[in-house]
Structure 1
Amino acid sequence: MNLQTLEKLKFPIGEFHKTDSISKTDIENWIATIEAFPSKIKSLTQSLSIEELNWIYRPKGWSIKQVVHHCADSHMNSLIRFKLALTEDVPDIKPYEEQLWAELADGNSNDISPSLQIIEGVHARWVLLLKSFGTKELKKQFFHPGNMKIVSLEENIGVYAWHCNHHLAHIEQALLYKGQF
């Protein structure tokens, strides 16, 4: 497999690209994507067998079950980061080793139902919070020491809408190729 093919498998919808100007419509669309994610991921995964849950989406990539568990971990962390930014002045957030978390017992479990429940609950709270934002809240920021960047909440809404679609595409890809890499 060539490098270009591997990159396409890693980023089936492309990488996130920050726009120079974020509109109200962008924010509304991104929030709608985040709101729809729990039902979409559940629909894609609820009837999968253990064998299918263990299919990978690319060579040396995560299994479907690890993608689901990762989304629960990542989106919990994101909600906390949003709340920190809303209540503190440009707080440093805590990065985590997502690759290592995916190898832990709970990140590699064949039972994805707890993670689907987490995603459903976190997204319900997260969307309620996001829909309450005015201009002031959208401009709030946090510092990410992992990439040494200050990130605004409006940008991070876009990042997580992309993240939702990115991982849904990974699951669809694993199902399409039946994990055969």
Structure 2
Amino acid sequence: MKKAQLTKGEFGEFYSGYIDRLDDEAELIASLENNTSEMVEFLKSIPSEKWNFRYKPEKWSIKEMVQHIIDTERIFQYRALCFARNEQNPLPGFDHDLYVLNSGGDNRSASELIEEFKIVRQSGIFLYKSFTDLMLKIIGNMNDVNTSARAIGFIMIGHAKHHKDIISNRYL
């Protein structure tokens, strides 16, 4: 399934900023796999002295940002699973700032965070490989926004790219 196959009703406007980071011909599973490799290599290239850096005192450190990516991957994967299984109840949003504040991300090693990202994303890839075309098209409600399971996969990729760009432009 390619990004170009998504329709307007499959995701909210807020998520366009993530989905628009991918080419129309981007294929879901291949893009998840490629993005995983790109993110792992990028994270491994960050100098050790930069992992605790904040470009402003109130901003997240790189460790906290990677922990945020991991947490968000887990939440999006759960949402995709719920929708693929035809969950009818709306799923709540989450306060990403509160999650980061309570994550303990700064107390973790860079290598541990990189490995966890890789494992969580690999788990998501297996999840997406298990979905049929019909399951991928099922739309559910997350945080008051109708979204399909397949759109969530592209959102996950765009979300990681978004934070990679922030790290590159503001932290390195």
TM range (shorter): 0.7 to 0.9
- Residues 117-169 of structure 1 show CA distances to partners (whole Å, capped at 9, x for unaligned) of 22211211211222343331121122113xx1111112222211211211111
Q: Give, in whole Å, the separation in 1 of the partners of 2:86 and 2:134.
A: 13
- The residue number in structure 1 matching 2:3 is none
User: One-letter code of the match for 1:56?
Assistant: R
Q: Give, in whole Å, the separation in 2 of the partners of 1:70 and 1:153.
A: 21
- Using the TM superposition, name which of 57-66 and 35-44 deviates more: 57-66
Q: Say which of 147, 150, 166 aligns to 1:151.
A: 147
- The residue number in structure 1 matching 2:12 is none
Q: Say which of 112, 122, 137 aligns to 2:110.
A: 112
The alignment's TM-score, normalised by the length of structure 2, stands at: 0.73
- The residue number in structure 2 matching 1:165 is 161
Q: Describe the shift of the 1:51–1:103 C-alpha distance in structure 2 as closer, same or farther (beyond 3 A).
A: farther
Distance apart, 1:40 and its partner CA:
2.6
- The residue number in structure 2 matching 1:9 is none
Corresponding residue pairs, total: 154
- The residue number in structure 2 matching 1:103 is 101
Secondary structure, aligned partner of 2:140: strand
Mapped contact 1:52–1:175 kept (Cα < 8 A): yes
Higher helix share: 2
- The residue number in structure 2 matching 1:46 is 44
Q: Which ranges in structure 2 are unaligned for 5 or more consecutive residues?
A: 1-15
- The residue number in structure 2 matching 1:137 is 135
Q: Say which of 34, 51, 73 aligns to 1:36.
A: 34
* Correspondence list, 1:57-76, <5 A: 60-76=58-74
Mapped contact 1:57–1:171 kept (Cα < 8 A): no
- The residue number in structure 1 matching 2:5 is none
- The residue number in structure 2 matching 1:10 is none
Distance apart, 1:77 and its partner CA:
1.1
User: One-letter code of the match for 2:90?
Assistant: D
Q: Which ranges in structure 1 are unaligned for 5 or more consecutive residues?
A: 1-13, 177-181
- Residues 31-62 of structure 1 show CA distances to partners (whole Å, capped at 9, x for unaligned) of 33322333333322335455301233678432
- Residues 56-109 of structure 1 show CA distances to partners (whole Å, capped at 9, x for unaligned) of 367843221111111111101111111111223333223221111112252333
Q: Which runs of 4+ in 1 moved over 6 A?
A: none
- The residue number in structure 2 matching 1:87 is 85
CA RMSD of aligned residues (A): 2.7
